[in-house]
Structure 1
Amino acid sequence: MARSCSARLHGEAAAFTAALRSLVNNPQFSDVTFVVGREQQPVFAHRCVLACRCQAFRGMLMSHEDPPNSVPPQGPFVMANVQPEVFLAVIEFLYTNSVTLNSHIVLEVLTSSVEYGLQDLCKLCVEFIKDTLNVEQVCEALQAAVTYGQADLQQHCLAFIESYTMAVVRTQGFHELSDTVLARVLRSDHLAADELDLVQAVREWAHVSSAVLERPVPEVAALPVQELRLPLLAPNELAMLESQNQQDLLIPVSCGVPRSFLGTSWGRIGVPTLMSPSGQVDSIAAAWRSHALRRGSGVPSHLCRPRHGTRPRNHHRHLDPHNK
């Protein structure tokens, strides 16, 4: 008696995918309708496809209160907070396991992929973002990467910002960064910008954030300012910074400390680290102190470390912890 055997054989994948793609937003045989975006655009779909491909849609489409044999409602289900093009990209992925992306929608598709628990779609979005990243989009991509815990995309965006820092800080996306993400950027040693330029970029960001959030400049800028490396600035630049700071108090300052007290006599009398009224280190006073002592004493070592784009200044040799 011949032994039976079995095997799973596959037909042409492209033809199968094309057939399923023809069902995307096709009213024929559709049994569920969505009304999408401000345009209230109808999108037609097939309940069985959505339910078997996505747990979130399965929960949306099932009605636990109806009898088992009843016909579930066809909708329409209102999806007001998503663009039709974005929603259709998600639907395309569910039907075909592929997606058509462009730079205008990819971040929103990434958001939807996270909301719907579609990990494979999330990976495709991340790969597309990495392959097409540009100056105008990188900050928004970084913000999304941090929000959704995409560590690989975070690193990719940070490396891009490090290479094109001065172009990036002029973009609208830079001004829309959250304070925590901006602080993370400013921790980098590899930014291709001088510290004076970074101070100005943070000042412009703070004024935009202050207007949007309706909060004082010192409050919105508290985290990023702690990452500015003011000891790298020359005395004349610090003096200019003090003058600018009187206008908006971007950088916290301690009360009751005469400017003359921040000169060369500081090194002889051993003044402790100054604190602002908010409890933060007075960064400007600490920078003056590093000049007076001709070393970075009392200042966190990373704040004395030149970045990739820092313009050399004569006093930097005194900040080098290896210099004797």
Structure 2
Amino acid sequence: MERSESNTQLIPNEEEKGYTNDYSSGYESGSGSSDGEYQDKSSVKSTTFTTLDKIWNEQHHQSTKEKMNFQNTMELSSHLRYIISMPELCDVTFLIGSKQVPVYGVKAIMGTRSRVLYNIILKKQRELEFGAKNPKVQTKNKQRQLKTDHHLTIPVSKYLPEDFQKIVEYLHCGTVDISTSNVAGLLCGASQFELGDLRTACLDYIEHCSRIGSICLLIPSAKRYSHHSSGKH
């Protein structure tokens, strides 16, 4: 049986319809083939998908390299310092010293920064919950709670108000100015509330004062905290 070759076009001429060479129907004539063999569709699609994956991976890799990290901690610190200066924005009040000077803070921040403070705040909350269920305790605490605008109140008797305010600022803002007048109070607070980085900074400052011969300026601050082990040290 003789083989006959057909010259009939399977599709219209692309140039006649204005199609570009980039368009393909999915059939391609094999190079050097004279018997009308064509490439399988599945292989064409596989090649196309592989090319698309390659392009996507290249673009994704390029976009990853173009990432930029931006930080503005100074503005964040400033906003947090503003928050603790506004009692209506805070939910915990520390009453410091015999005069019960109020120092305000945010429970979530302080509890996250210090495990010791977290336990103190949690204990006080449970006491209030128990008092709410007990009519006698509720009557005793009602007037005290009204005086502090319904904030959770925690008395602190062994710190100067200005020193404890610095501790609270450090907990919220992450920055604090250490000086000869407050280093003892900050060191005691850092030790009690387990703030290791602040404690290290205070010890470094004390060592610096010792090197430059101004260690005597720390004595008045230390005497005010002689009841605390870190103050004695």
1:98 aligned onto 2:158: no
Name the counterpart of 1:119.
Answer: 196
Question: Residue 216 of structure 2 is aligned with which of 136, 143, 151?
Answer: 136
Name the counterpart of 1:14.
Answer: 74
Larger helix proportion, structure 1 or 2? 2
Alignment deviations for residues 14-68 of structure 1 (CA, whole Å, 9 cap, x no partner): 222222222234213211111111221111111111011111111111148588x
Q: Percent identity?
A: 17
Aligned length: 144
Distance 1:45-1:8 versus aligned 2 partners, 3 A rule: farther
1:55 aligned onto 2:115: yes
Distance 1:59-1:103 versus aligned 2 partners, 3 A rule: same
Q: How does 1:222-261 map to 2 (within 5 A)?
A: none
Distance 1:124-1:8 versus aligned 2 partners, 3 A rule: farther
**How far apart are residue 94 of structure 1 and its match?**
0.6
Unpaired runs of 5+ residues, structure 2, are 1-52, 133-149
**How far apart are residue 82 of structure 1 and its match?**
0.9
Question: Residue 79 of structure 1 is aligned with which of 156, 165, 169?
Answer: 156
**How far apart are residue 111 of structure 1 and its match?**
1.0
Give the secondary structure class of the aligned counterpart of 2:75. helix
8 Å CA contact 2:183, 2:221 repeated in 1: no
Runs (4 or more) in structure 1 with deviation over 6 Å come to 138-144
Distance 1:48-1:137 versus aligned 2 partners, 3 A rule: same
Q: How does 1:210-229 map to 2 (within 5 A)?
A: none
**How far apart are residue 87 of structure 1 and its match?**
0.7
Unpaired runs of 5+ residues, structure 1, are 149-177, 182-324
8 Å CA contact 2:181, 2:218 repeated in 1: no
Q: How does 1:1-324 map to 2 (within 5 A)?
A: 1=53, 2-3=56-57, 4=60, 9-63=69-123, 65=126, 74-133=151-210, 134-137=214-217
Larger Rg: 2
Provide TM-score, normalisation by structure 1.
0.39
Q: Distance in 1 between matches of 2:99 and 2:176?
A: 22
8 Å CA contact 1:26, 1:45 repeated in 2: no
Give the secondary structure class of the aligned counterpart of 2:89. coil
Distance 1:65-1:91 versus aligned 2 partners, 3 A rule: closer
**How far apart are residue 130 of structure 1 and its match?**
2.3
Distance 1:123-1:140 versus aligned 2 partners, 3 A rule: farther
**How far apart are residue 119 of structure 1 and its match?**
0.4
Distance 1:26-1:140 versus aligned 2 partners, 3 A rule: same
Provide TM-score, normalisation by structure 2.
0.52
Distance 1:48-1:140 versus aligned 2 partners, 3 A rule: same
Distance 1:138-1:94 versus aligned 2 partners, 3 A rule: closer
**How far apart are residue 85 of structure 1 and its match?**
1.0
**How far apart are residue 106 of structure 1 and its match?**
0.7
- Identify the range of structure 1 (18-27 vs 31-40) with the bigger mean alpha-carbon deviation: 18-27
8 Å CA contact 1:129, 1:141 repeated in 2: no
Q: Distance in 1 between matches of 2:162 and 2:220?
A: 19
Q: Distance in 2 between matches of 1:8 and 1:62?
A: 40
Alignment deviations for residues 234-285 of structure 1 (CA, whole Å, 9 cap, x no partner): xxxxxxxxxxxxxxxxxxxxxxxxxxxxxxxxxxxxxxxxxxxxxxxxxxxx
8 Å CA contact 1:50, 1:57 repeated in 2: yes
Distance 1:138-1:16 versus aligned 2 partners, 3 A rule: closer
**How far apart are residue 79 of structure 1 and its match?**
0.4
Q: Distance in 2 between matches of 1:44 and 1:138?
A: 27
8 Å CA contact 1:50, 1:58 repeated in 2: yes
Alignment deviations for residues 67-87 of structure 1 (CA, whole Å, 9 cap, x no partner): 8xx9xx842110011111111
